[in-house]
A and B are shown apart, each in its own frame.
Chain A
Amino acid sequence: EAQVTQNPRYLITVTGKKLTVTCSQNMNHEYMSWYRQDPGLGLRQIYYSMNVEVTDKGDVPEGYKVSRKEKRNFPLILESPSPNQTSLYFCASSLWAGGRNTEAFFGQGTRLTVV
């Protein structure tokens, strides 16, 4: 089954304690991205990657890091989480075809609370 898998689904942590949210896709997609979802703001892109070792900032990258060492994995790293990073996070992947992205597949989401 084609899917994007995120872990964990829920996470409560304290300010300043480094954490990693994992994301893996089994569709051999080139393009992967991370979004955060906040009430009234829709989804905002944090970082994206167009292929292995190619990453770039999205709209709200401050306080986040990513890496893309393998095509299937795209972890999101919060080196020093702060309460304003409390949010619902989604990983997504899509096929890059004909110079544009096609349908995006989303993970189930990770609800992060930073206290």
Chain B
Amino acid sequence: GNSVTQMEGPVTLSEEAFLTINCTYTATGYPSLFWYVQYPGEGLQLLLKATKADDKGSNKGFEATYRKETTSFHLEKGSVQVSDSAVYFCALIKAAGNKLTFGGGTRVLVKP
């Protein structure tokens, strides 16, 4: 079946540091890949997405590239802010599918 594996947290960083959260997936065909963010006390919001190999999703300074050869979709941000403190979820929808499969989530804490 489909699965998503992401690095465990918490990840603690200082402001302006570089952030990477690793995400790898197992799926047949060509799934669509997503990063969702959950700020404290809120629901999940779509951060970025990519629907085919080599696509790069980007939003709010975050980027992730769909790497078919390594089945990965790592999230990066060059300079984090305190407001980026949240839980980040990697997820996929398989081709011609309807269900989001989530990774376990990675909590990120950015300190001033």
Contacts and interface: CB of A to CB of B under 8 A. Distances in A.
B27 interface: no
Interface-central residue, A42, A58, A106, by most chain B CB under 10 Å:
A42
Interface stretch (B12-20, B60-68, B77-85, B99-107): B99-107
Interface residues of B, number: 23
A113 to B, nearest CB: 16
A48 B97 CA distance: 13
A43 B95 CA distance: 20
A104 B46 contact: yes
A106 B43 contact: yes
A100 B32 contact: yes
A80 to B, nearest CB: 26
B97 A100 contact: yes
Given A100-B96, A108-B43, A42 B102 contact: yes
Interface in A1-49: 4, 31, 33, 35, 40-45, 48
A101 B102 CA distance: 15
Interface residues of A, number: 26
B99 A45 contact: yes
Given A90-B44, A108-B43, A109-B43, A100 B93 contact: yes
B45 interface: yes
Contacts of B25: none
A19 B95 CA distance: 36
Interface of A: 4, 31, 33, 35, 40-45, 48, 50, 58, 90, 92, 96, 99-101, 103-109
Interface of B: 4, 8, 32, 34, 36, 42-46, 49, 89, 93, 95-100, 102-105
Given A90-B43, A100-B95, 17 more contacts: A31-B98, A33-B99, A40-B8, A40-B104, A41-B104, A42-B102, A42-B103, A42-B104, A44-B102, A48-B98, A50-B98, A100-B32, A100-B96, A101-B98, A106-B44, A107-B43, A109-B42
